[in-house]
Amino acid sequence: MKSMLAAVILSLTAWFAVPAFAEAPAEPLVTVNINNASAAEIAETLNGIGLTKAEAIVAYREENGGFESVDQLAVIKGIGPATIDKNRERISL
């Protein structure tokens, strides 16, 4: 009888402990609109893009108009396909 009670208590304890091991929800992904964000906002949001590259993005945008695609960032010196791919989900137009 004691062993049966112990088994029930152990089962209930394990059942209540499962949510504690559940994966925590991921933080919402922060995005930046490269067609209207400041250089500081771009540099803060994108990985591998410092203030100098962010300023180049803003300068290009001011001279040539807004970006039509994320891949168009490759025209900026120092921004290649790898940088674009790791930031693709963070960039909006």
pTM to 2 decimals?
0.71
Q: What is the pLDDT of residues 17-67, one digit of tens each?
A: 555 555 656 667 889 999 999 999 999 999 999 999 999 999 999 999 999
Q: Evaluate whether 77 touches 56 at the Cβ level (below 8 Å).
A: yes
Q: Domain limits of the chain? A: 32-92
Q: Could you give the CA distance from residue 33 to residue 11 in angstroms, rounded to a whole number?
A: 51
Residues 14, 11: Cα–Cα separation, whole Å? 5
Q: Any idea which architecture 32-92 has in CATH?
A: Orthogonal Bundle (1.10)
DSSP class per residue in 35-82: TT--HHHHHHHSTT--HHHHHHHHHHHHHH---SSGGGGGGSTT--HH
